[in-house]
Amino acid sequence: MLLPATKIDLHRAQRNLLRAVASFEFTKGIFVLSIGLCALLLVHRDAWVIAESLLARLHINTDRRSAQLFLDFADRLTDASLWAAAELAFAYSLLRFVEAYGLWRQRTWAEWLAFVSGTLFLPLEIRGLMRGITVPRSSVFAANLGIVLYMFFLLRAGRRRRRELQSIGPETHDQSGK
């Protein structure tokens, strides 16, 4: 059994780690929200002209294959697809903000939400790693795997704690009722 001071330090460390995960999720929400706002800014505009000027500003030759793919993508954009992308980005960022709030407040439902949503993205990240291992892909995979494993740890610890309280509760109640 842990000493009371050790329990307090462990609880504080878990809370700080949970808040770090909440901050990470909040940052993801802000990033996706900004992408959604950028999609809205492109509505009723010529995305190809904007893409071409962006390539020129970044000094990227438009004859390169990747630049041509980018310009072709911009040429195929419609207002309807931009609205759909913005709506999807706003919904995803709202989910991340709700999750961040719940994790910051140490809510069990937010731990479940983080565990399930993180687990759903693991196959996509593994597929990305199979196409080629890069530092960004590896970092995203490692961070997501770490979050999923930590949420699993927290959920198991909470379940174990609830079982202990249930097994202690009736005995304490019987002794006090005598």
pLDDT in tens, 119-166: 999 999 999 999 999 999 999 999 999 999 999 999 998 888 878 877
DSSP label at residue 3: -
Q: Is the pLDDT of residue 39 over 90?
A: yes
Q: Is the pLDDT of residue 90 over 60?
A: yes
Q: Is the pLDDT of residue 174 over 70?
A: no
Q: Are 129 and 138 in contact (CB under 8 A)?
A: yes
Q: Confidence band (pLDDT; 50, 70, 90) for 176?
A: very low
Q: Confidence band (pLDDT; 50, 70, 90) for 178?
A: very low
* 0.85 exceeded by pTM: no
Taking the C-alpha atoms of residue 104 and residue 111, their distance in angstroms, rounded to an integer, is 10
Instruction: From 21, 3, 33, 4, select the one nearest 105 (Cα to Cα).
Output: 21
Q: Confidence band (pLDDT; 50, 70, 90) for 177?
A: very low
Taking the C-alpha atoms of residue 94 and residue 91, their distance in angstroms, rounded to an integer, is 5
Task: Give me the amino acid identity at 151.
Answer: M
- Mean pLDDT across the chain, nearest whole number? 88
